[in-house]
Each structure stands twice: as structure tokens, then as C-alpha cells.
């Protein structure tokens, strides 16, 4: 699909990370953008940055919305139509996401469902709300962000990762099924699933405030660190909080692929008509590993080979 000046893109999670980079790059191409996010302040920063590099006349609107709440998504849709005078849209980027809900067996149900609801129902509710507007356009694309955890449900053998993985598997399967659904019922609209690896975003920082973690979560994090060999058994709770906060900062600042690079890969993939868009060399490598050795994917040796970048499994 051509992405060109004058089109209208709707994007969730536009306040930070890949969402902000997509807003900037779309606006630079003269595409009008309607974004939502849970943070008005972050969206204002995205909007200012995008307008600074956009052609005159490019419109960017913002709307505070929790995509896990259908009523808020429907209000976002109505605001898009009103603010942009739109009877159709050309691009829908279901990009909003959050982490958490790692353990199903003994974790918090509320935390699990919060993560799953944002990462899966956020995509579903937005697809339901905006699909008629996509179909009404002469040409359109729905771009759903899954993850490497949409085909490998793991952060390693010692770290439960259930809610996020379940949601991202659902996003991947839904988007793959949409390829045929749209081909049969709206062939001028294409579906694309995005599967990023480690991207330099603030998702870990945005998921929770590590410095304000409750004592029960601190105890869980301490146990995981000790199991992984970290000498923190006798560290203070505040030290554990600081370590978790620094991990989230490092996740953002030391990633192999930047948010800006990720946005470029995504938009290039949409332009090329690729329904399956892997983002980052790490995503490409683990995709090969899982495909080559699916029965080994959740064994310690698999994670070690992946982590150490050694040849062997998947090579």
C-alpha cells in the first residue's frame, strides 16, 4: 500500500516508543494522524515533535483512551470522525501495549487480566470500532503489533510470561486470519502483523513504577534474581526497587534496535505489502530458531543458545 500525503492514520499508544516514532514518520510524509494514549502529556510531546517535521497543513489529534475499555475506544472513534471530518481512514495501527501478568499459577489475577485486556482486547476493540472506516476507504491497512512473544512464549526458562504471551499469540493469530477475511470481503484492505524483538521503548517503565513496587512484588523480584544467581538475598527492598528501575531504563536505552528504526521497518513493510513484519535482527534469529527446533523452544539450552548468540539450535 502507498502511504502518502493527505491520508488519515489512526494509532494507539502514540505517546512513547514505537508509537511516537510512527507518528513522527507518518506526519513527515504528510499523513494526518489521530492518536490515543493513556498519557495526555506524552501525546503532547509526540504531537509537538511530529508537527515540527511535518508539511504545513498536517493535522495531528490526540485523545486520552484506555484501549482495554470499549466505551473509551468508541469515544475515540467518534472524536476522530468529528475532529478530522472523516468518513473513512486509511491506516489503523494497533500499537498500544503493556507488560505484566507473568505468572498464571500464583500471580495476581488483576495484573494478569489488565495486561491481557490491553494487549489483546485493545486490538480487538479498535479493530471492531475502526474496521468499517477502513473498509469505506479506497485503500486501507490494519497494522497490529504482536511480538516475538507471539511465536515464542518465553523470557527464558526461569521467568513466567503468560499474560503478555497469550495476548500476543492472539494478536498474531487474529491478524493472520484477517488476511483471508479481508481478501474475501474487503480486498482493498490489507492486514499486517508486526513482531518486534527488543526495541528501545519505555514499555517496561510504563508498565509499572518500579520505585513504588509493593513489598509482595519486591519479594517476588528478589526471589527471581537470587534464582538467576544475583547476590541480592540480603539486599534491602529499596535496593531491589532501584535495580528493577535500572533494568527498565537499560531495556530502553541499550536495545539493539531503536524505536525510530522499528517504525521505519514497519512502514516499509506496509508499503511492500508484507503481512508478516519482523522487527530487529534478534526477532529474525529467534524466529528461525523456533521454526527449526520447536520441541526445544522452552528448554534451558534453547534460551542459553539464544542469549549467548551461539551457533547451534536454530542455525
Q: Which residues are catalytic?
A: 164
Phi, psi values for residue 61, rounded to 5°: -115, 155
Distant-in-sequence, close-in-space partners of 270: CB < 8 Å, separation ≥ 6? 1, 3, 91, 141, 143, 190, 192, 277
Return d(Cα 251, Cα 253) in angstroms, integer: 6
Amino acid at each position: 500500500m502507498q502511504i502518502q500525503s493527505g491520508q488519515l492514520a489512526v494509532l494507539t499508544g502514540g505517546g512513547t516508543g514505537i508509537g511516537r516514532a510512527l507518528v513522527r514518520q507518518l506526519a513527515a510524509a504528510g499523513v494526518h494522524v489521530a492518536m490515543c494514549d493513556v498519557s495526555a502529556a506524552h501525546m503532547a510531546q509526540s504531537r509537538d515533535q511530529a508537527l515540527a517535521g511535518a508539511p504545513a497543513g498536517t493535522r495531528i489529534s490526540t485523545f486520552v483512551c484506555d484501549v482495554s475499555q470499549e466505551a473509551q475506544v468508541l469515544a475515540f472513534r467518534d472524536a476522530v470522525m468529528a475532529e478530522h471530518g472523516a468518513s473513512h481512514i486509511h491506516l489503523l495501527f494497533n500499537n498500544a501495549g503493556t507488560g505484566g501478568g507473568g505468572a498464571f499459577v500464583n500471580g495476581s489475577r488483576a495484573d494478569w487480566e489488565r495486561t491481557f485486556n490491553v494487549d489483546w482486547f485493545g486490538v480487538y476493540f479498535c479493530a471492531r470500532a475502526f474496521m468499517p472506516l477502513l473498509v469505506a476507504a479506497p485503500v486501507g491497512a490494519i497494522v497490529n503489533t504482536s511480538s516475538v512473544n507471539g511465536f515464542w512464549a518465553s523470557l527464558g526458562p526461569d521467568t513466567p510470561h503468560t499474560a503478555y504471551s497469550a495476548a500476543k499469540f492472539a494478536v498474531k493469530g487474529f491478524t493472520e486470519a484477517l488476511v483471508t477475511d479481508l481478501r474475501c470481503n474487503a480486498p482493498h484492505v490489507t492486514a499486517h502483523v508486526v513482531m518486534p524483538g527488543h526495541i528501545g521503548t519505555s514499555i517496561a517503565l510504563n508498565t509499572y513504577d518500579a520505585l513504588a513496587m509493593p513489598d509482595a512484588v519486591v519479594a517476588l523480584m528478589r526471589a527471581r534474581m537470587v534464582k538467576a544467581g544475583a547476590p541480592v538475598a540480603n539486599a534491602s527492598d529499596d535496593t531491589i526497587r532501584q535495580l528493577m528501575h535500572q533494568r527498565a531504563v537499560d531495556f530502553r536505552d541499550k536495545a539493539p534496535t531503536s524505536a525510530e528504526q522499528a517504525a521505519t521497518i514497519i512502514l516499509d513493510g506496509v508499503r511492500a505489502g508484507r503481512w508478516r513484519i519482523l522487527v530487529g535482527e534478534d526477532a529474525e534469529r529467534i524466529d528461525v530458531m523456533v521454526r527449526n527446533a520447536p520441541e526445544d523452544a522452552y528448554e534451558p539450552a534453547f534460551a542459553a543458545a539464544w542469549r549467548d548468540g551461539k551457533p547451534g539450535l536454530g542455525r
